[in-house]
Amino acid sequence: MFRKDPFITGEYYHIYNRGIDKRVIFKSKKDYERFIMLLCLANSDESFRLGNILNNQHKTFSEVLGFDRGEPLVSIGAWCLMTNHFHFLFRQEVDGGITKFMRKLGVGYSMFFNIKYQRMGALFGGLFKSKLIGVDDNYMSHLFGYIHINPLKIGFPQWEDQINKSSIDMKKFLESYRYSSYLDYIGGNRIEKNIINPENFPDYFQNSQSFQGFVENYFAGRFSKNGSC
Protein backbone atom coordinates (compact mmCIF):
# COMPACT_ATOMS: atom_id res chain seq x y z
CA MET A 1 0.00 0.00 0.00
CA PHE A 2 1.30 3.48 -0.93
CA ARG A 3 1.96 5.81 1.99
CA LYS A 4 1.80 9.56 1.75
CA ASP A 5 4.87 9.80 4.01
CA PRO A 6 7.41 7.04 3.24
CA PHE A 7 9.51 5.89 6.18
CA ILE A 8 12.94 7.53 6.15
CA THR A 9 15.74 6.57 8.51
CA GLY A 10 16.39 9.33 11.03
CA GLU A 11 12.90 10.83 10.69
CA TYR A 12 10.13 10.90 13.31
CA TYR A 13 6.63 9.45 13.02
CA HIS A 14 3.36 9.21 14.90
CA ILE A 15 2.20 5.59 14.55
CA TYR A 16 -1.27 4.47 15.60
CA ASN A 17 -3.95 1.88 14.95
CA ARG A 18 -7.06 0.41 16.53
CA GLY A 19 -8.90 -2.87 16.66
CA ILE A 20 -10.94 -3.86 13.63
CA ASP A 21 -14.45 -2.39 13.90
CA LYS A 22 -13.10 -0.54 16.97
CA ARG A 23 -13.18 -3.80 18.91
CA VAL A 24 -11.38 -4.15 22.25
CA ILE A 25 -7.85 -5.50 21.78
CA PHE A 26 -6.81 -5.55 25.44
CA LYS A 27 -9.22 -7.46 27.70
CA SER A 28 -7.00 -8.16 30.70
CA LYS A 29 -3.81 -7.21 32.48
CA LYS A 30 -2.09 -10.19 30.83
CA ASP A 31 -3.06 -8.88 27.39
CA TYR A 32 -1.48 -5.51 28.10
CA GLU A 33 1.64 -7.16 29.47
CA ARG A 34 1.96 -9.44 26.45
CA PHE A 35 1.79 -6.47 24.10
CA ILE A 36 4.33 -4.53 26.17
CA MET A 37 6.73 -7.49 26.12
CA LEU A 38 6.36 -7.65 22.34
CA LEU A 39 6.85 -3.89 22.16
CA CYS A 40 10.24 -4.48 23.74
CA LEU A 41 11.28 -7.68 21.94
CA ALA A 42 10.09 -6.70 18.44
CA ASN A 43 12.39 -3.68 18.50
CA SER A 44 15.44 -5.59 17.32
CA ASP A 45 17.09 -6.49 14.04
CA GLU A 46 18.08 -9.85 15.54
CA SER A 47 16.41 -12.93 14.08
CA PHE A 48 15.43 -14.61 17.37
CA ARG A 49 11.91 -16.03 17.54
CA LEU A 50 9.63 -14.04 19.82
CA GLY A 51 7.49 -17.07 20.63
CA ASN A 52 10.46 -19.04 21.89
CA ILE A 53 11.39 -16.33 24.35
CA LEU A 54 7.84 -15.61 25.51
CA ASN A 55 6.48 -19.17 25.63
CA ASN A 56 9.10 -21.90 25.66
CA GLN A 57 11.42 -20.26 28.13
CA HIS A 58 8.60 -18.92 30.37
CA LYS A 59 10.33 -15.63 31.00
CA THR A 60 8.81 -13.26 33.53
CA PHE A 61 7.66 -9.78 32.55
CA SER A 62 10.76 -8.17 34.04
CA GLU A 63 13.11 -10.71 32.45
CA VAL A 64 11.67 -10.10 28.99
CA LEU A 65 11.93 -6.32 29.29
CA GLY A 66 15.53 -6.69 30.41
CA PHE A 67 16.43 -8.93 27.47
CA ASP A 68 19.48 -7.89 25.40
CA ARG A 69 17.90 -7.21 22.01
CA GLY A 70 20.90 -5.84 20.16
CA GLU A 71 20.51 -2.83 17.88
CA PRO A 72 16.98 -1.34 17.76
CA LEU A 73 14.87 -0.89 14.65
CA VAL A 74 13.30 2.28 16.03
CA SER A 75 13.73 4.69 18.90
CA ILE A 76 10.57 5.09 20.97
CA GLY A 77 9.83 8.49 22.42
CA ALA A 78 6.35 7.83 23.79
CA TRP A 79 3.76 5.07 23.81
CA CYS A 80 0.26 4.49 25.13
CA LEU A 81 -2.09 1.51 25.04
CA MET A 82 -5.83 2.05 25.25
CA THR A 83 -8.58 -0.57 25.36
CA ASN A 84 -9.08 -0.61 21.59
CA HIS A 85 -6.11 1.29 20.12
CA PHE A 86 -2.53 2.40 20.63
CA HIS A 87 -0.23 5.38 19.91
CA PHE A 88 3.54 5.44 19.39
CA LEU A 89 6.10 8.16 18.71
CA PHE A 90 9.01 6.65 16.73
CA ARG A 91 12.27 7.61 15.10
CA GLN A 92 13.32 5.10 12.45
CA GLU A 93 16.88 3.88 13.10
CA VAL A 94 17.49 1.50 10.17
CA ASP A 95 16.02 1.30 6.68
CA GLY A 96 12.71 -0.52 6.81
CA GLY A 97 12.81 -0.43 10.62
CA ILE A 98 9.27 0.80 11.30
CA THR A 99 7.70 -1.63 8.85
CA LYS A 100 9.65 -4.59 10.25
CA PHE A 101 8.94 -3.62 13.84
CA MET A 102 5.21 -3.14 13.31
CA ARG A 103 4.92 -6.40 11.37
CA LYS A 104 6.55 -8.38 14.20
CA LEU A 105 4.48 -6.59 16.82
CA GLY A 106 1.17 -6.95 14.98
CA VAL A 107 1.59 -10.57 13.94
CA GLY A 108 2.93 -11.62 17.33
CA TYR A 109 0.11 -10.03 19.30
CA SER A 110 -2.64 -11.08 16.87
CA MET A 111 -1.55 -14.72 17.11
CA PHE A 112 -1.51 -14.54 20.91
CA PHE A 113 -4.93 -12.84 21.08
CA ASN A 114 -6.63 -15.16 18.58
CA ILE A 115 -5.37 -18.29 20.30
CA LYS A 116 -6.28 -17.02 23.77
CA TYR A 117 -9.80 -15.93 22.82
CA GLN A 118 -10.42 -18.67 20.22
CA ARG A 119 -11.08 -16.35 17.33
CA MET A 120 -9.89 -16.06 13.73
CA GLY A 121 -9.16 -13.25 11.32
CA ALA A 122 -7.64 -9.80 11.52
CA LEU A 123 -7.39 -8.10 14.90
CA PHE A 124 -6.36 -4.62 13.79
CA GLY A 125 -8.18 -2.23 11.48
CA GLY A 126 -6.03 -2.60 8.39
CA LEU A 127 -2.55 -1.20 7.89
CA PHE A 128 -1.30 0.89 10.81
CA LYS A 129 -1.53 4.65 10.34
CA SER A 130 1.48 6.97 10.26
CA LYS A 131 2.24 10.69 10.17
CA LEU A 132 5.64 12.24 9.46
CA ILE A 133 6.75 14.75 12.08
CA GLY A 134 9.33 17.49 11.57
CA VAL A 135 11.90 18.03 14.32
CA ASP A 136 10.90 21.69 14.60
CA ASP A 137 7.22 20.94 14.14
CA ASN A 138 4.89 21.93 16.99
CA TYR A 139 3.15 18.62 16.35
CA MET A 140 6.11 16.85 17.97
CA SER A 141 5.57 18.57 21.31
CA HIS A 142 1.82 18.18 20.86
CA LEU A 143 2.28 14.41 20.64
CA PHE A 144 4.18 14.18 23.91
CA GLY A 145 1.14 15.73 25.54
CA TYR A 146 -1.56 14.04 23.51
CA ILE A 147 -0.17 10.49 23.79
CA HIS A 148 0.37 10.75 27.53
CA ILE A 149 -3.05 12.18 28.41
CA ASN A 150 -4.91 9.70 26.17
CA PRO A 151 -5.75 7.42 29.15
CA LEU A 152 -7.95 10.16 30.58
CA LYS A 153 -10.55 9.00 28.05
CA ILE A 154 -10.81 5.79 30.09
CA GLY A 155 -11.20 7.31 33.54
CA PHE A 156 -12.89 10.55 32.44
CA PRO A 157 -14.70 10.05 29.10
CA GLN A 158 -15.74 13.74 29.07
CA TRP A 159 -12.47 14.99 30.55
CA GLU A 160 -12.31 18.20 28.52
CA ASP A 161 -15.60 19.31 30.12
CA GLN A 162 -14.43 18.32 33.60
CA ILE A 163 -10.94 19.82 33.55
CA ASN A 164 -11.67 22.64 36.01
CA LYS A 165 -13.44 20.37 38.49
CA SER A 166 -11.39 17.19 38.40
CA SER A 167 -7.82 18.14 37.47
CA ILE A 168 -6.37 16.67 40.69
CA ASP A 169 -8.22 13.39 40.17
CA MET A 170 -7.08 13.34 36.54
CA LYS A 171 -3.46 13.77 37.57
CA LYS A 172 -3.79 10.91 40.07
CA PHE A 173 -5.37 8.75 37.38
CA LEU A 174 -2.48 9.32 34.96
CA GLU A 175 -0.01 8.50 37.73
CA SER A 176 -1.79 5.19 38.34
CA TYR A 177 -2.12 4.16 34.68
CA ARG A 178 0.58 1.59 33.89
CA TYR A 179 0.13 1.15 30.15
CA SER A 180 1.95 4.19 28.81
CA SER A 181 5.36 5.83 29.10
CA TYR A 182 3.98 8.59 31.36
CA LEU A 183 5.34 7.00 34.54
CA ASP A 184 8.79 6.69 32.97
CA TYR A 185 8.96 10.43 32.35
CA ILE A 186 7.84 11.42 35.85
CA GLY A 187 10.62 9.39 37.43
CA GLY A 188 8.96 6.04 38.01
CA ASN A 189 11.49 3.28 38.73
CA ARG A 190 10.08 0.45 36.64
CA ILE A 191 11.41 -1.99 34.06
CA GLU A 192 9.18 -0.54 31.30
CA LYS A 193 11.60 2.40 31.17
CA ASN A 194 13.83 0.19 29.00
CA ILE A 195 11.33 0.59 26.16
CA ILE A 196 11.83 4.32 25.54
CA ASN A 197 14.84 6.18 24.11
CA PRO A 198 14.22 9.81 25.13
CA GLU A 199 17.82 10.76 24.32
CA ASN A 200 16.98 10.42 20.61
CA PHE A 201 14.16 13.00 20.75
CA PRO A 202 14.10 16.79 21.23
CA ASP A 203 15.08 17.78 24.75
CA TYR A 204 11.77 19.30 25.77
CA PHE A 205 12.02 18.16 29.39
CA GLN A 206 15.01 18.82 31.63
CA ASN A 207 13.67 16.64 34.43
CA SER A 208 10.53 14.90 35.70
CA GLN A 209 9.17 18.15 37.13
CA SER A 210 9.37 19.95 33.80
CA PHE A 211 7.63 17.01 32.11
CA GLN A 212 4.80 17.05 34.64
CA GLY A 213 4.44 20.80 34.19
CA PHE A 214 4.31 20.37 30.43
CA VAL A 215 1.56 17.73 30.62
CA GLU A 216 -0.45 19.73 33.15
CA ASN A 217 -0.28 22.78 30.90
CA TYR A 218 -1.23 20.62 27.94
CA PHE A 219 -4.40 19.17 29.39
CA ALA A 220 -5.29 22.56 30.82
CA GLY A 221 -5.68 23.68 27.21
CA ARG A 222 -2.52 25.75 26.66
CA PHE A 223 -1.46 23.63 23.67
CA SER A 224 -3.28 23.04 20.41
CA LYS A 225 -5.40 19.90 20.29
CA ASN A 226 -5.36 19.60 16.50
CA GLY A 227 -4.24 16.34 14.95
CA SER A 228 -5.81 14.01 17.51
CA CYS A 229 -7.42 10.77 16.36
List the chain pLDDT tens, one digit each, 229 residues: 567 778 999 999 999 999 999 999 999 999 999 999 899 888 987 655 555 555 555 567 777 777 677 789 999 999 999 999 999 999 999 999 999 999 999 999 999 999 999 999 999 998 999 999 988 778 898 899 899 989 988 888 766 665 555 577 888 888 999 999 999 999 878 889 889 999 999 988 888 888 888 887 777 664 444 444 4
CA distance 112 to 114: 6
**Helix (H) / strand (E) containing 112:** helix 97-116
| 146 contacts: CB under 8 Å, gap ≥ 6 | 87, 218, 225, 227, 228
CA distance 176 to 166: 15
Give all strands (DSSP E) within 55-120, no chain letters: 74-81, 85-92
Residue 210: CB atoms within 10 A of its CB come to: 12
Q: Are 23 and 84 in contact (CB under 8 A)?
A: yes
**This prediction's pTM:** 0.88
**C-alpha distances out from residue 155 to 148, 173, 194, 229, Å:** 13, 7, 26, 18
What is the model's pLDDT at position 78? 96
pLDDT single digits (tens) 14-72: 999 999 999 999 999 999 999 998 998 889 876 555 555 555 555 677 777 776 777 89
Q: What is the DSSP string of 127-162?
A: SPEEEEE-TT-HHHHHHHHHHHHTTHHHH-TTHHHH
CA distance 22 to 194: 30
CA distance 176 to 169: 11
What is the average pLDDT score of the chain?
84
Half-sphere exposure in the Cβ direction for 62 (13 Å, CA): 3
- Domains of the chain in start order, with CATH, are 12-133 (3.30.70.1290)
How far is residue 196 CA from its own chain's centroid?
9
Geometric angle at alpha carbon 139, from 133 and 143, rounded to 5°:
95
What is the model's pLDDT at position 41? 86
